[in-house]
Amino acid sequence: MSTLIQNVGSNDIRKTAEVLEKHEFTIEKELGRGTSRRTFLVKNTDGDLFVVKEVNYRDNETLNRVKNEVSILNKLRHGYIVTYEDSFEESENFYIVMEYCVKGDLSKIMKAQKNVGMFEEKQILDWLVQICLALQYIHENNVLHRDVTPQNVFLTEDGYINLGDFGCAKALSSPVCPEVYQQRYNSKSDIWSFGWLLYYLCMLDVWSNKTERRRLHDNSMAGNTPEISEMYSLDLQILIKQMLSCDLKDRPSAEEILAEPFLKEAVKRNKRISIELEQTFIRALNAFNKAYNAHYRDFKALVDEWGETTDSLEDMHYSTTAGSLTGAAIGTAGGITAVVGAILAPFTFGASLIVAGVGIGVGVAGGVTGAASNITKTARDKSLRQKIEKLMQDYQSVSTPILDSLKTVRRVMRKIIKFQSFVSSSTFNNVQMGLRLGRTTVAGVTEFITLGMLASFGRIAVQSANIGRVVAAASGVLSGILVIVDVVFIVKDSREIHEMRQHWRNDDPDKVTSDVLKSIAQMRKTYKELCTVLQDIHKTREELNSHISQSRD
């Protein structure tokens, strides 16, 4: 449980933490709260950060608004819109899981900028185009945002905009456009709110003064558009005034704004996968290739050793006779139960830890008289123990660099997928895209991201996430090997020997009833899963590098 939850005595926070943990999220911190909603920064089991919005619905109207937002978010996939991840409902609370934008909302950036000066026009134009592309997309999908304000525009760690908060249990914010009073809200109404946002970006001193903001808004309702600093181009000043026009006919659409000649270069820069994101992908793929070349062979050798060790443990267990263990069978039963808990814990998400606790509590009441010689012989077999100890140490050192670098590649791919709508196939045989990755070399060749590469990113991202989960679970299984090696030879009776004969080299824990045999079967099952993981890691690397190579040909 996170430090936040440990330090907060509030039962409602604890209840929220318990609900989120059921869905494999851990609360990192609370980001904010309102009358009926709270937002949290959470982390999943892969270490990825997300924002969870918790909405308390006490009536059907609130619930319907929440479900409407989820319905909207679920169908929107765009480079400049916050990505919806998941949602679930429990105890009169609705939870929406969304992409986390590291740099916070635009209002925080504006507050910080006010202390050092005005925004450069190039920065404003980039944000203008990014937000406008998002509005164009949602308007084409018959969605109205209704609340385009600095608080609902977020910045990613790569510095580009994400439009978010699509009105969940929330009234319209000021300034309110004229047609709202006439109940004629349409896509041009979003342009009005957007125009005020741009005005505030240009006039930070006005934005920070609530009284002045209210005065200017009241004047604009009478057709008096506010003046903009002359440090910005006349083209930008005219566009903002058009966006703030009370007459819908004079207010441009998102499409018309993007067609403005003075925005041509900004549109060209932003209607594509950003250079920064492309460079991030190149660095991530280079790091993955480097880790693969340095550690993959050793990782494979360790997995092979895992399989050999599992077979050795089963052989040792089988070769022991039941007759020499008469006095020890009862006494060691608790220890065996504890070992099973340790081995199976990563696969039962903690439930078997209860079994482990019970086993440890049983103790060794029966003594070890009948098995003293065998215990002494096996427990002191230093070569086997040292082999397992080294296996444990080396496993982390060779798997971690590969998995960490692959995880970074996966995270970047998820970001790039959002921009897929900006990439269209060439009419000339689906060849090179106009999205340069730069001159940095990846596996000897890079030049373009191709449409085929983007199409495969989703599948590769899912595959790499599964790789991480299997290897992490295997670490938990591996940690139990040193315990089981000291008791693995303890056979309860002849029935267990018969069960071993019936299920020799078994990899399904459900096929056997013996606790020790279940543990060995789980180890063998994990070994086979790791063999698959090795193949997936190799295929992932080959596919990514092949895509880049083909795009240059």
For residue 98, the SS3 value is: strand
Q: Alpha-carbon distance 242 to 182, whole Å? A: 20
CA max distance for the chain: 100
CA dist list (Å): 409 to 287, 402, 552: 9, 11, 21
Which tokens sit at 291?
Answer: 């880790």
Which amino acid belongs to residue 275?
Answer: I
CA dist list (Å): 294 to 141, 305, 407: 48, 19, 17
Residues whose CB is less than 8 angstroms from the CB of residue 231 and which lie 6 or more positions away in sequence, other chains included = 118, 121
Q: Alpha-carbon distance 240 to 6, whole Å? A: 49
The residue with tokens 């060794």 is 364
Residue 46 a catalytic site member:
no
Cis amide leading into 150 (omega within 30): no
Judge contact between 200 and 174, C-beta under 8 A. Answer: no
| 8-state DSSP, 214 | H
Judge contact between 131 and 148, C-beta under 8 A. Answer: yes
- With CA atoms as reference, report the closest residue to 46 among 520, 469, 457: 469
Judge contact between 367 and 342, C-beta under 8 A. Answer: no
Query: How much of the chain is helix, strand and coil, in % rounded to 5?
Result: 60, 10, 30
Q: Please identify which of the residues 46, 86, 147, 311 carries the catalytic annotation.
A: 147
Q: Alpha-carbon distance 516 to 496, whole Å? A: 10
Q: Alpha-carbon distance 295 to 290, whole Å? A: 9
| 8-state DSSP, 512 | -
Transcribe 441-504 into DSSP letters: -STT---B--HHHHHHHHHHHHHHHHHHHHHHHHHHHHTTHHHHHHHTT----HHHHHHHHHTT
Transcribe 150-190 into DSSP letters: GGGEEE-TTS-EEE----TT-PPPSSPPHHHHTT---HHHH
Judge contact between 448 and 435, C-beta under 8 A. Answer: yes
Which tokens sit at 346?
Answer: 């990563």
Residues whose CB is less than 8 angstroms from the CB of residue 215 and which lie 6 or more positions away in sequence, other chains included = none
Residues that are catalytic: 147
